[in-house]
Structures are given as C-alpha cells and as structure tokens.
Amino acid sequence: MRLLFPALICILPIIVACGPDLDAIPPVTEQMALGMGVEKAQLARGREIYMTYCNLCHERITPAKIDPEYWREILPHMSENARLRQSQLHDLQTYLIAAHGTVYQLDLQH
C-alpha cells in the first residue's frame, strides 16, 4: 500500500495529459470541414466571430466545455446581444460544434 500512493502520484499527470484539452480553441482544418459537411471558409468565419465577439461581454468559453445542444440553445440569445446577423450566428454555431467534436475526437456527421 505504501508503494501504491507514490506510484499513483507519478502516473496521474500522465493520465490527465492524455485527455482532451478542454481549453483548446481548435484551428479550422480541412478534416473538421469534411466532418461537418461544410466549407472550410464557413468554419473560418465562425472561428473569427468567436475570437472577435465572444469575449466582449464575458470571458471566452472554450468550445469543448459546452455540449453542442447547449450551444444551440444559448447562442441565439448571445448573438442578439452581440448584434450578429443570422448568417454569423449560423457560422459561429457550426464552428463551435465542430470544435467541440474535434477536441473530443467525435465523428461529427453521426
């Protein structure tokens, strides 16, 4: 038992490091666009909106920290506050869902 605790202390950081980076703001990639079935340019616009507007009213919440269904629920309200156009809201939502899936290595089309 005395050896188990030191071993856990040494192994725990390695295990934690292998998990998803919940603070990541993933760059747009071709794979991300293919996984969502959208153009890479749409995701790039969404990421730019995220980087420009989402910290004006509050601290940026990284994509992985919120479930895609909740993003769909809260983004319309926040986009009104930010005075985003409907097309901007759509691009932002698409990027956040794609980024969430990328961090968790999800199959984005299923």
Average pLDDT over residues 49-63: 91
Tens digits of residue pLDDT in 71-104? 999 999 999 999 999 999 999 999 999 999 888 7
The amino acid occupying position 11 is I
pLDDT value at position 73?
A: 95
Nearest 5°: phi and psi at 54? -75, -10
| Helix, strand counts (H, E) of the chain | 5, 0
pLDDT value at position 14?
A: 47
Name the band, by pLDDT with cuts 50, 70 and 90, for residue 2: low
46 CB burial (10 A radius; 0-12, 13-18, 19+): buried
Give the angle subtended at the CA of 101 by the CAs of 91 and 104, to the nearest 5°: 150
pLDDT value at position 23?
A: 74
pLDDT value at position 20?
A: 57
pTM: 0.77
